[in-house]
Chain A
Amino acid sequence: MAETMRTRALRVFFGDTEAVKAVDLEIHSAAVTAIIGPSGCGKSALLRALNRMHDGVRGVRVVGRIYLGDREIHDGGMDPVLLRTQVGMVFQRPNPFPAMSIRQNVTFAPRRHGMVRKGEESNLLEQVLRKTALWDEVKDRLHHPAASLSSGQQQRLCMARALAVGPQVLLMDEPTAALDPTATQRIEALIYELKRDITIVIVTHNMQQAARVSDRTAFLDDGRLVESGETERLFTNPAEERTEAYITGRFG
């Protein structure tokens, strides 16, 4: 069973600006949690805190607690690089290593972390490329550069790359914002498949997408968590006026 995550009184500061304000968020295991909210509401800042992407970024300060299962991710014993193998990230723009081959993109991290023996690489490669529905499209050109793929394929390659290290949680920051509807549909289908084994958190501006792919939705406004709960309930009968106003397009 994939791990849960939860935040307690999580705050993210950019200089003096508090972008995330005392957020207590529950992220359920093996389910998709969508984070929605207007531009600048702090949803990406929140997402990036979940695998310590803010570490070392000048002017950014993260306060509060974040748990992966029972472990606080800022604990002294937690190596941020190892944390990111447990909590992977897929970004808005596909960012494969462009000069590396398709194969290297997938095998680079597991090899570097000593997670796979040389003889098992091909198995792992096929397994994650099948998981991301890329295998049939690329199996005859695994040595081609990643840049030769379409943007939709590149995004699936990025998901394959994140999956290759066996994460518990996959964070996705607007993963289809740069893709056409067909490629978007494939990514959404993948999310649906992957959630059986992995906890997924997706930040999206597209509310129809949040409604389609997620089991739970969290609505953030001005850095605060206004409401979170089951997606079906939140999109048909939100508890908070501000959520209602936002999802019906009456503000934001």
Chain B
Amino acid sequence: MNLSGGSRHFQQEFSTLRHDLLEMGALAEELLRVSVEALTEGDMAKADSVILADRELDAMEVEVDAAGIHLLALHQPFARDLRVITMILRIANDLERVGDHAVNIAETVHHLGAAPKLLTGVPQLWEMARISREMLTQALDSFVRGDSVVAREVCGRDDRVDSLHQSGFRILLDHMATDPQLVGVGMSLILVGRNLERVADLATNVAEDVVYMVEGRSIKHGADRTDE
């Protein structure tokens, strides 16, 4: 018979894996928060701290991968254990990419130097930053609590970020068309918007993975999100 789920050995490693993923989540949320702060404050030191800490996040992803593969190979888990471990592997990858987007935003601070005035004209960016961060936090909470209802709520918020992204993009284009001197800054901020929009996508991915983990059904790519 399969002894995986019942053995203390498995339970210990399994619980360490969950814990490590949550640490990754906490760090990814922090990197995102600090990168946006660095941008608004034009703070190079904060931007550098994001770039540095992202290496830590990368290293954690490698560790989570190794621990997850180890559990799959040695314990060959089934059912919910199997779903949780495979989803942890995916979520770790998503969190690592959230870190990459935070780094992209932090690097923008280096290009821009002091916080550009144009920033105040695009409130969509702040709104995107706020919602993306909330989505990420909410998705990770839904993982901790195994709550697919909250996870589905996260998925539902992605459209709002997409529409903010589009309207912010149009406003920045208008500014650049009116004043060609703003093209450099405008392009950088368009990329910031793009990075925030991707973070919301990744938070959505995490939430979709939580739904699969809890319910055993995929809601990816518009697959039925309520019933089957």
Contacts and interface: CB of A to CB of B under 8 A. Distances in A.
A205 B79 CA distance: 17
Contacts of B122: none
Contacts of B82: 235-236
Q: Which bucket holds chain A's interface residue count?
A: 10 to 19
A56 interface: no
B223 interface: no
A248 B7 contact: no
A38 B79 contact: no
Given A249-B2, A250-B6, 19 more contacts: A38-B1, A206-B1, A207-B2, A236-B82, A236-B216, A238-B79, A243-B79, A248-B4, A248-B6, A248-B78, A248-B79, A248-B80, A249-B4, A249-B5, A249-B6, A249-B7, A249-B10, A250-B5, A251-B6
B81 interface: yes
Listed from nearest, the 8 A-B pairs whose CB atoms lie closest are A237-B216, A248-B5, A249-B6, A207-B2, A249-B5, A247-B78, A249-B3, A244-B79
Contact of B83 (A207, A237, A252): A237
B167 interface: no
24 contacts: A205-B1, A207-B2, A207-B78, A208-B76, A211-B78, A235-B79, A235-B82, A236-B79, A236-B83, A237-B79, A237-B83, A237-B217, A238-B79, A243-B79, A244-B79, A247-B78, A248-B4, A248-B5, A248-B79, A249-B2, A249-B3, A249-B4, A249-B10, A250-B5
Interface string B168-187: 00000000000000000000
A165 B154 CA distance: 60
Interface string A175-212: 00000000000000000000000000000011110010
B79 A247 contact: yes
B77 interface: yes
Interface of A: 38, 205-208, 211, 235-238, 243-244, 246-252
B72 to A, nearest CB: 12
Contacts of B78: 207, 211, 235-236, 247-248
A235 B76 CA distance: 11
A205 B80 CA distance: 20
With most chain B CB atoms within 10 A of its CB, the pick from A206, A235, A249, A252 is: A249
Nearest to B75: A249
Interface in B2-37: 2-7, 10
Contacts of B1: 38, 205-207, 246, 249, 252
A165 B216 CA distance: 43
Interface in B47-83: 76-83
Nearest to B78: A247
B76 to A, nearest CB: 5
A80 B83 CA distance: 45
Nearest to B215: A237
Nearest to A243: B79
Nearest to A239: B216
A183 B2 CA distance: 21
Nearest to B2: A207
